[in-house]
């Protein structure tokens, strides 16, 4: 398993990964078929992120296939450039192997290297496996966003979690 920064030529594979995540779990933001990004648009997005000093996408690759990722999306204003919002996903077949921990470890290493101070994320309250991982990685609860999402016809709370890098 290799964890590395995404490059523009990963656009098609990255879209395949995110669309598969959309289809195999209801724990991601988008529902199956809702992601309409083209390969060219995804390549542009990866290029834009790579040109930013406080943003990155790290991908996990095995046998030429992308199987997980962590995106750290830094603030765009002077007052929030020190922080990054995290989005992450791992294909179901690769969960339970420590890949999430590896992605978060590499994401934090990168964040420290570029001088970020705050990492933040939201997680559906019923996603217990993710909540445990984030807590083990040093993220702390900051609040609950009640009825934040509607998943399978039911309202779902989200937790705000963050980690300060010293």
Q: How far apart are CA 144 and CA 149, in angstroms?
A: 12
Rounded to the nearest integer, the mean pLDDT of the chain is: 96
- Stretch 14-30: mean pLDDT, rounded? 95
Tens-digit pLDDT profile for residues 107-151:
999 999 999 999 999 999 999 999 999 999 999 999 999 999 999
Task: Using pLDDT thresholds of 50, 70 and 90, give the confidence band for residue 94.
Answer: very high
How much is the pTM? 0.95
Strands (E), 51-126: 55-62, 65-74, 83-90, 118-124
166 pLDDT more than 90:
no
67 pLDDT more than 90:
yes
């Amino acid at each position: 398993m290799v964890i590395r920064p995404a490059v523009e030529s990963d656009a098609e594979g990255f879209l395949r990964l995110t669309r598969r995540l959309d289809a195999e779990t209801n724990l991601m933001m988008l529902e199956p078929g809702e992601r309409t990004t083209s390969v060219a648009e995804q390549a542009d997005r990866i290029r834009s992120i790579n040109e930013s000093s406080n943003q990155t996408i790290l991908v996990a690759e095995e046998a030429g296939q992308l199987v997980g990722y962590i995106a750290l999306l830094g603030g765009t204003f002077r007052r929030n450039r020190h922080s990054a919002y995290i989005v992450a996903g791992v294909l179901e077949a690769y969960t339970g192997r420590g890949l999430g921990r590896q992605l978060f470890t590499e994401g934090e290493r990168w964040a420290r290297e570029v001088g970020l101070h705050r990492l933040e994320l939201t997680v559906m309250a019923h996603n217990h496996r993710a909540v445990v991982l984030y807590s083990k990685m040093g993220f702390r609860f900051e609040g609950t966003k009640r009825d934040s999402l509607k998943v399978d016809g039911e309202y779902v709370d989200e937790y705000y979690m963050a980690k300060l890098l010293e």
